[in-house]
A and B are shown apart, each in its own frame.
Chain A
Amino acid sequence: MSPIIRPASAARPIERRPGPQTLIAAAVLACLLAIAAGLVWTQSRFNPAVVNFLQGEAARVRGPAAAPAAAEPILPLSEGMSALTPAEHFDRETLSDKIDGKAELYLSAGFLRLDCQRLALAAQPELWVEVFLYDMGSFENAYAVFSAQRRADAAMLDFAEFAYRAENALFFVHGPFYVEMIASGTDERLRASMDALARAFILGRPVAQAAIAERGLFPKTGLVETSISLIPADAFGVAGLDRVFTATYRKPAGAELTAFLSRRSGPQEAAALAGAYVDFLKTYGGEVKVSDEPVPGGAVVAILDMFEVVFSQGPFLAGIHEAPDRDQAVTLAKELAAKLEEVPGAR
């Protein structure tokens, strides 16, 4: 084997054949790469407990929920009410310290901050209301969490566009705020107090008028108006399928269908998302017949004894979700497509 180390002044060209030095250098580099790969692999399996300990919180029982108590009530108190407990404040990091597993619903919808406090009837402190003021950052985000939790057969209220009362509670949207008032009982005095608190809150916090245009894009025939909901993220279990509006339709003979639509940045994104959704359904056993094209470019997917209709119309991804009857699903999809055609730029 020829030596590879030569005086730099040598006149003839340097030989480039690999020798022992090159091989050993390569081996050293390979070792370093292996060590780096090991570190990356170990870090990817990092026990979250370690994060906890590194932050010096190992044995901490309480989370940051125990924020400094605020002296002021979080909303104007109506006559005869007083603060029963100090105000509590939670951010994205600490929201689950208050609502545990439901936090993800809010976080995925753009949650910014929660203020809450128990208020009681001054004369009867055992009668109290816990107020939750969720700042969701926008009217649409607030509507998303409102619609996701809307209780069936609730009594609608007139002081806000989206407001209803349950037997023991009151829920509404005001600007970027989603507000819950939950009472300790069903006493009429508590209901009256919740009404007064809600009205005072709305009066005390003027917000710009806002509307959700997508609500008007669902065909009216058979539509259950109060069923329109906004899924902020991962709709139907599909990662990346966000901001999807759904609506329930009651058809003759009691059948129920769910229509959906989502406005995307443009026709290309809508079409690509429709294709990706069909592919997603196929990976879970969905079957598409070539002849099934409910609307141009659309598809009917048979999956788990149900039918999914998917299509795009201009900037909209739309369709029918988990329909028990194929023909009813296709008919409703065509109605939805026709309605979307009316939107300027959606042809």
Chain B
Amino acid sequence: MPADEALSRREFLGRAAKAGACLAAAGAIAYATHDPEGPGPAAAEPQAAALPDFSIPGLGKKMGIGHGSDRARTLQLTLQALGGIEAFVRKGDRVLLKVNAAFASPPMLSATTHPDLVAELTRLCLKAGAASVAVTDNPINDPASCFALTGIAQAARSAGADVILPEERFFKPMTVKGAQLIRNWPVLTAPLAGVTKLIGIAPVKDHHRSGASMVMKNWYGLLGGRRNIFHQDIQTIIAELAGMVTPTLVVLDGTTTMIANGPTGGSLADLKETRTLIVGTDQVAVDAFGATLLGKAAADLPFIAKAEARGAGTADYRSLSPVEVSA
């Protein structure tokens, strides 16, 4: 504006009003088009609904602790103390066993679910009348190598279970309610289709980042994508996984515990014979007891308190009055 032209108050207010209206319009458009979920497949493909609740209504919380070196025998006795496998698996059930097959390492290193447990649990489920048993995981290393070298694939198949190796199409994006991390994240959902019972089976291991890897950490194998970024907040991701999955039963194998250099280990010197197998319906309680096999308390592992706070179970495993048996 030429310097010598005066601007009347009316003109000024009129222009200010127009500027304000433009600002308000821009803000309204931005607000209307804002996507709080961010870019993701939500726009391109439907998200998977929350995972089903696989717990058995009315069964309550049960926990058994078995002592012995023979995994199959200890599993049998511990389940018997809880009412038998029939208390958890009924005729016609379609059972999915979520194992830890994370690494392509031999069973003797105890970095993965032991094949003896996979075989025995498969056998027990089929004996109880299960229509089918399948075994799955999304390993860290190459899936085919992991299932082969851990002995899990052969054990599962020889006992009558199907082995489901992850494929890209088996994942669907999922958001866990109230989660900070599992939002629009690919989750291995296809093997769960039609499943009526879900059982998690994991070894007790030291873990460099989280302090321990047990049954709740085992659900990490249901995640796809570049999940390693979750290591930056591993305590939270484990708790969110516990909130995402409500299993029928979990089996924590502390027959041999990896007490150092986890989660991969590598040396037999990293292992300790702890001769304990925990079976339960409350995954938080089972992990809380599992911590003791690593010489830790539940309070030493923040993910346990976080999972409890999310309502996934109780850290006070004694409140479940666990049944103890010896093989």
In the assembled complex, A66 has its CB within 8 A of some CB on chain B: yes
Give A36-74 as 1s and 0s: 1 = Cβ < 8 Å from B's Cβ atoms.
000000000011111111110111111101100000000
Contact with A along B77-117 (1 / 0, CB 8 A): 00000000000000000000000001101101100000000
Which residues of the partner chain A approach B142 to less than 8 Å between Cβ atoms? 62, 65-66
Chain B residue with Cβ nearest A152: B269
Chain A interface: which of B33-41, B63-71, B282-290, B318-326? B33-41
User: Is B311 interfacial (CB-CB < 8 Å)?
Assistant: no
Q: Contacts A48-B181, A61-B171; is A101 near B9 (CB within 8 Å)?
A: no
Is A103 positioned at the interface, with any CB of B under 8 Å from its CB? yes
Query: Main SS of the interface on chain B?
Result: loop
Contact with B along A156-174 (1 / 0, CB 8 A): 0000000000111101000
User: Do A184 and B106 have beta carbons less than 8 Å apart?
Assistant: yes
Nearest A residue to B171 via CB reads A59
| Complex: A85 Cα to B144 Cα, angstroms | 12
| B209 close to chain A: CB less than 8 A | yes
Interface flag for A102 (CB, 8 Å) = yes
Q: Is B254 an interface residue (CB 8 A)?
A: no
Chain B residues whose C-beta falls within 8 Å of the C-beta of A9 in the assembled complex: 3-4
Give 1 or 0 for each of A5-39: 1 = CB within 8 Å of chain B CB: 11111000000000011001000100100000000
Q: Which of A53, A57, A62, A153 has the most CB of B within 10 A?
A: A53
> Is B129 engaged at the interface, CB distance under 8 Å to the other chain?
no
Contact A167 B268 (CB under 8 A): yes
B253-282 contact mask (Cβ, 8 Å, vs A): 1 or 0: 000000011111011111000000000000
Contact across chains for A59 and B224 when beta carbons are under 8 A apart: yes
Provide the residues of chain A in CB contact with B193, threshold 8 Å.
Answer: none
A50 pairs with B224, CB closer than 8 A: no
The answer to whether the Cβ of B59 comes within 8 Å of any Cβ in the partner chain is: no
A interface bracket (residues with beta carbon within 8 Å of B): 35 or more
CB distance from A155 to the nearest CB of B (A): 10
A166 touches B269 (CB 8 A): yes
Q: Which residues of A contact B14 (CB under 8 A)?
A: none
* A100 & B39 in contact (Cβ 8 Å cutoff): no
A-B contact pairs, 25 of them (CB 8 A): A3-B9, A5-B6, A5-B7, A24-B16, A24-B19, A48-B181, A50-B40, A50-B184, A51-B226, A52-B185, A52-B226, A58-B173, A59-B171, A61-B224, A62-B142, A66-B142, A97-B141, A97-B228, A101-B208, A101-B213, A149-B260, A152-B269, A154-B269, A168-B109, A182-B266
- List A residues at the B interface (Cβ < 8 Å): 3, 5-9, 20-21, 24, 28, 31, 46-55, 57-63, 65-66, 85, 96-105, 130, 149, 151-154, 166-169, 171, 180, 182, 184-186
